[in-house]
Amino acid sequence: MATFLMTQRPPPPLIGANRCPPLAGRADFPTSRRHLPGRRHGYPFRCDSSSSSSAPRDHPPRPRQQRPRTQLPGGRGSAVDPVGFLSKLGISDRAFAQFLRDRHKAFKDRRWELCSRFIDLKEASSGFELLGMHRHRQHRVDFMEWAPGARYCSLVGDFNQWLPTENCAREGHLGHDDFGYWFIILEDKLREGQEPDEYFFQEYNYVDDYDKGDNGVDAEEMMRRMKAEYWEPGEIRSRKSQLEMVAKLYEQMFGPNGPQTEEELGEIPDPQTRYDEWKASQKVDSSSLSPSYDIIDSGQPFDIFNVVTDRASFEKFQSKKPPLAYWVEMRKGRKAWLEKYAPTISHKDKYRIYFSTPDGALERVPAWATYVLPDAEGRQSYAVHWEPPPEEVYKWRFGRPKVKGSLRIYECHVGISGSEQKVSSFQDFTSKVLPHIKNAGYNALQLIGVVEHKDYSSVGYKVTNYFAVSSRFGTPDDFKKLVDEAHGLGLVVLLDIVHSYASADELVGLSLFDGSNDCYFHSGKRGHHKYWGTRMFKYDDVDVLHFLLSNLNWWVTEYQIDGFQFHSLSSMLYTHNGFSTFTGAMEEYCNQYVDKDALIYLILANEMLHDLHPDIITIAEDATFYPGLCEPTTQGGLGFDYWVNLSVPEMWLWHLENVPEREWSMNKIMKVLVSSNRNMLSYVENHNQSISGRKSFAEIILNSAKCPDRSVSDDVIRASSLLKIIKLVTFTTSGGAYLSFMGNEFAHPERVEFPMSSNDYSFRLANRQWELLDKGFHKHLFIFDKDVMSLDETERIISRGSPNIHHCDDTSMVISFTRGPFLFVFNFNPEVSHQPYYVGVEEAGEYQLVLNTDETKYRGRGELKSSQYVRKTCDKRYDGCRNSLELVLPSRSAQKMELFIDAINICTLVAFGDKMAKWRL
C-alpha cells in the first residue's frame, strides 16, 4: 500500500469495531500541552475515537485513580507520565497504553543498567574520549577497543612493520577487562643519546610549543622547592621504607622481647583503656607541627566519622594549596618532547587491529577509527592515525548559528555536487555550493553520505566506519572547514545519520568484528535486514548503546554538527523491518513485531542530545508514523523535534505517474498535506525520488509535455507551472520545516544514478548541471524558488499556525486557505482559467497580490494585469466566511495575497483605538 494512503485514516483502537474518521483539520485538537521548555514537539496523527470499546456501558465509568508521577531531576519540565500524550492525541487504545507503560519500565531499567556502568548519559555518550587512539601526556599513545569475542589483540601498521606480536594486549597484560575492552599502550621511542625521564609521571604539553619546563632548573631542585613551600618543619618524617611502621609493630608484638605465653600477654583491656594508656605515654610537645589524628576502635565497622582531630590541625591542613605552579613548571612542552622522544605512531600512519579468535586470526579496521582509507588494490581498508601538529590543527572561526522560526533545509550529497563526472570533494563543495545555498535563501544544510562507507553506489547508507568522514571526499579537517564556512554563512548543518542498520562488510565494517556473530548485531535472522543485505544493531546491549550514543555526541563535539535526521526508523522499530503489510491500526504499533529496545534507544538518544546540546535539532524519518514521534519523552513520546511526512512525495509521484491531471482530487491532496501539520517536515522530492532508475519530477513532467529539448515553448511553460504550484502548496502547508534536494530548486532535468554494475559504473548521472541556472526556464524557476524562500525569511510563513482551509473544490480544482494573515489560492486545472472566481475570507478590506506564479519573471504567461493585483472584498458570505473576494485564476497558477492596510487606514485604526481607550476610561 502506498505510504500516503495511510495518512488519510489514523490508526483505529485495537478494542472495538469503531474506526477513526479521516483527518480533517486541527480544530478539535486540545490546545494545552505539557512539554520540556525550549523544545519543539509535534504529533504525526490523531484519533478522534473517545472509547476503546463498542459495547454499551451498563454503569458509569469509575473515576481514574490518580497515581503519583515522577518528577524530573533538577526541576526540568513537567512530571513524567508514560501515557501523557495519548489524551492529547485522542488515542484511547488500552493495549497501546499498556505497551507504553511497559516500555517506560523497561526504559528505566535500561537507563539504570547504562548508568551503573557509565555514571550518567554524559559519560555513556563520551566513549570517543577513551576508545580508539589517543595521545597521552606521558609520552605515549593509548589504544582501546571493544572485542569481547577475541582471545588476543594487537595493533599492526606502518609503525611496527605490521608485526602482530610487537604491540599487543592479552588477558592479564596491559588490560583486558570483564566487559571485553582491550587496552594497548604504545610507548614513544627514546631518541639516541637521550636519558629517560627521572620521574615516571613526567607530563608533556602537546598543544603548543611554549615550554615552561626548559627553565634551567633541575628536577631535584624543583621537588625541594615544592616541599619547602608546601610542608612545614616537622610535617615530613622521612622513612627508609614504606614497611617501617609495620615492621616496628610486628617486632613489638611478636619479636623476641614480646610476650611469649598467654600469661605474659595478659588480659587485653578494652579499646578506650588502651587509648587512654597510649595517650598518657605521648609527650606533650607544643613545638611539634604534626597534625594529631586519633582513631578510637569501638568494634564497629570503620567509618570516617570515627576519626577525631583537633580543629586547629584540620583548618591548617585545609588551608594548604597544592603546588600546581611547580607541577606546571615540571611539564615540558612539545619541543622538549620532540627532542627527547620519537612518536611511536606518527600523523597519517596506517594501522589495523589484529585479533586471535576461536576461528582463527582476523585483521579489522578499528570500530572507533576517525579516518579510514582503502588500500591501493581496494580490497581492504585501513585506519589512519590523524594527529596533525599544533600548527596544522584546524581552528574554528565561527560559532553555531541559531534558526529563528522555520527550517528551510537544502539536502546535499557532496560526491555528486560538481558538474564534472567524478566524485567531488569537500573543498569543491565549500567553495562552489555553499554560496549558492546561501543565495538561494535556505538556512539549513543537510548532508547525506558523509559517514565512511565502502560501497559508493549505496549513496552512503551502508555505513562501515561510524566515526570517520568519507575519505573519498577529503580529510577530517576539510570537513571541519565545510561546517565552519556554513556556520559563517548562517547555515545550520544537519547530518543524515544511519543507526537503523549497518553495512554487512566483514573486512571494513562491524560485521563479525571480533569473530563472533553477536558483537554489535543480533545473531540469526533478526540480525540481518530481509531485503537490503545489511546488519541490525543489538539495541538491548549496553556496550552497543555506548557505541551509538557516543557516535552521536562525537559528530556534535568534534565537527560542530547542529542536528541529525535519523534515517529509516521503520527498519529498526519493527522486526519485519517495515516491509510488512501496514494498515495503520494501533495494534501494529505494540504487537510482537515492535522492537521495544530500538524505541528505548531513540528515547535515550534524544534525551542525551537535548540535555548536552540544548539547541540540537533531531528529525525522525519513519514511514509508519509511529505515535508520539515528536512528543516529549516525559509524556511517553520519543522526543524528536520534527517528523518527515513521507506521504507527501509519494502522493505527488503517484499522481504524476498514475492519474491524469484533470482527475486529481483536491480534497485527497489536502488531507495528505495537512493531515497532521504540527512539527512536520514536508518536501516535494528528495534524492529517493530520483535515484537508481527512478525519474525526477522535472523529468516526468517535461517528458509528459513532449519537450525533451527543453526549449521555451508553451508546453514548457505549462509544465513548469505545474512544478511551481506543487512546490508552493507543499511549502505553505508544511509544519515548520521544508526540504529540497540539491538541484530541485531549478528543476534539474535528470535523475540521480550512482555508478554501479547496471550502468557500467558510469558517472554520467552522478553530478549536477549547474550551468542550467542561467539558461531558459531553469533560471526562472530558480528565481521563483528563491522568492518563496525569501517570503518565508521575512514573513515566517511555515512557522505560523496550521493552514485554515476555506475552499477545496474537486470540480474546479481550486484550493484556498489562509495561514496567519496570508491568503493562498491554487488553481490546479490544467486547461480552464476561472474569471471571476469567488473565495471566502474573514477579514474585510483590500487584498494585495504578493506572489503570482503566472508572472513572466517566473516564465509564466502573465495573464494578470497590474490593475488586478489589488482586490476589494464584498460582504457576500462564501465558504462559511463573512466576506468574499472576486479573483482571476489562470490555469495552473497560484497566488499569495495579503490584507492591504495603507497609511490612511492605519491612522483611522489608531484614532479608533484612542476613542476606545477614552470610552473605557
Between CA 876 and CA 870 the distance in angstroms is: 18
Query: Phi, psi (5° rounding) for residue 222?
Result: -65, -40
β-strand partners of 265:
none
Q: Within 10 A of 712 (CB to CB), how many other CB atoms are there?
A: 14
Between CA 227 and CA 874 the distance in angstroms is: 94
The dihedral formed by the CA atoms of 553, 556, 562 and 566, expressed in degrees to the nearest 10:
-40
The secondary structure element, H or E, covering residue 494 is: strand 492-497
Q: Is the dihedral of CA 547, 549, 555, 560 positive or negative?
A: negative
> Given its phi and psi angles, is residue 272 left (phi above 0), alpha (psi -120 to 50 degrees) or beta?
alpha
> Which one-letter amino acid corresponds to residue 831?
E
Please give the distance of CA 455 from its chain centroid, rounded to a whole number: 23
Give the position of cell 569481547: 148
Q: Is the dihedral of CA 446, 451, 455, 456 positive or negative?
A: positive
Task: Tell me the three-class secondary structure of 134-183, residue by residue.
Answer: EEECCCEEEEEEECCCCCEEEEEEHHHCCCCCCEEEECCECCECCCCEEE
> Which one-letter amino acid corresponds to residue 228?
A
Task: Tell me the three-class secondary structure of 768-829, residue by residue.
Answer: CCHHHHHCHHHHHHHHHHHHHHHHHHHHCCCCCCCCEEEEEECCCCEEEEEECCEEEEEECC
Collapsed DSSP state (helix, strand, coil) of residue 436: helix
Collapsed DSSP state (helix, strand, coil) of residue 120: coil
Distances in Å between the alpha carbon of 809 and those of 724, 805, 817, 891? Answer: 20, 11, 12, 14
Give the position of cell 547542529: 562
Where does 504-560 have alpha helices with state H?
542-559
Distances in Å between the alpha carbon of 858 and those of 327, 704, 911? Answer: 70, 21, 41
Given 452, 588, 607, 621, the catalytic residue:
621
The secondary structure element, H or E, covering residue 836 is: strand 834-841
Q: Is there a catalytic annotation at residue 113?
A: no
Compute the 3-state secondary structure of the chain and give helix, strand, coil in percent, each to the nearest 5: 35, 20, 45
Closest CA to 352 of 341, 361, 339: 361
> Which one-letter amino acid corresponds to residue 232?
E
Between CA 667 and CA 812 the distance in angstroms is: 12
Are 44 and 679 spatial neighbours (Cβ–Cβ below 8 Å)? no
Q: Which residues contact 472 (CB under 8 A, 6 or more apart)?
A: 415, 423, 456
Task: Write the DSSP symbol of residue 582.
Answer: -
Between CA 397 and CA 383 the distance in angstroms is: 28
The secondary structure element, H or E, covering residue 318 is: helix 311-318
Give the position of cell 535486514: 529
Peptide bond into 388 cis (omega under 30): no
Between CA 537 and CA 566 the distance in angstroms is: 14
Would you tell me the crossing angle of helices 596-612 and 94-118 to the nearest 10 degrees? 60
Distance, first Cα to last Cα, the chain: 64
Q: Which residues are catalytic?
A: 621
